[in-house]
Amino acid sequence: MNVDVTIIGAGPAGLSCALTLGRTGRTVALLDTGAGRNRFAERAHGFLTRDGAPPSDLRAAAHVELAQYASVTRIDRPAVSASGTPGAFVVDTAGVPATIKSRRVVIAQGVTDVLLNVPGFAENWGRTVFACPYCHGWEVRNRKLVMLGLSPLDYFHAELLTQWSPSVTLIATPNSGDSSPHMDLLTKAGVEVIHGEPARIAADGSTCTAVELVDGRSVPAEAVVVHPPIDYTSDIADDLGCVRLDDDAIEVSELGQTSVAGVYACGDIARRSSAPSGMHFIARAVSDGLNVGAVLNQELTFNDIQAKAAP
């Protein structure tokens, strides 16, 4: 299979990039594993005109829109390796077609949240246990919120949660570090601080009720906010030699270009060195994908013009 662009990953960024390129008539191979990061959430929020839509509905609607563009081929299998240079990339897949040749490659694989090995955590992830208050905070406003502190930055996150509820408790684990430098602001914000380690997330059906600690204490909670570690693993980025940042995100320019000529990246897996880590939103990913698609089309168009023989 020969195409202009191979897009690896079909979350919001990859789908947006494919749509943009499809509307230019570019031939695209879109590799889609169906394992999007937000598949655990019942509803997605903060995406204008689609606030509250189930992620599966957003995905289905994107597939319908992409189907209008015959030059875009969606392939339901992952990439297993990649190599090559601009104009001559080869991406191997786990199935047929086994090999895709393309002029450019876009890495849009997203990231994976590394869920805590605590009973009740995975079962409630994306519902009453979540990472982003901008995505899910409104639905639990004014309820008993517990911030599970896994790093010193979570002292700030606990203070931020008071925008959604006056009842915020921070469980400071040993990984949170010394709480004393933060206590003045936490006290002013009205955040209660409890030192301990979680043993279990208790729930009544789909509703969180408490965080039970290793020492036997139980902290009432109607929702738990936690920022688990993020896995930025991409064998494709490593195969191609893309430079990573300190959080392991793929380093990109403002135009989405990686350190490797002809290779672009967009969405949660990519970040400019000047941008803050962890700013992961659907709208941002869609914007990234559109940006990379437009830049790629311009690059390929002018390359084609330059390659034409002079009259």
Give residue-wise pLDDT tens across range 237-255: 999 999 999 999 999 999 9
Per-residue confidence (pLDDT) for residue 85, from 0 to 100: 95
Per-residue confidence (pLDDT) for residue 279, from 0 to 100: 86
Q: 132 with 140: CB under 8 angstroms?
A: no
Q: For residue 310, what pLDDT band results from cuts at 50, 70 and 90?
A: low
Task: State the pTM of this model.
Answer: 0.93
Cβ-based neighbours of 279, under 8 Å, separated by 6 or more: none
Structure tokens at 75: 């392939």
Q: For residue 67, what pLDDT band results from cuts at 50, 70 and 90?
A: very high
Q: Is the CA virtual torsion 46, 21, 293, 258 positive or negative?
A: positive
Q: 99 with 2: CB under 8 angstroms?
A: no
Model confidence pLDDT, tens digit, residues 88-132: 999 999 877 789 999 999 999 999 999 999 999 999 999 899 999
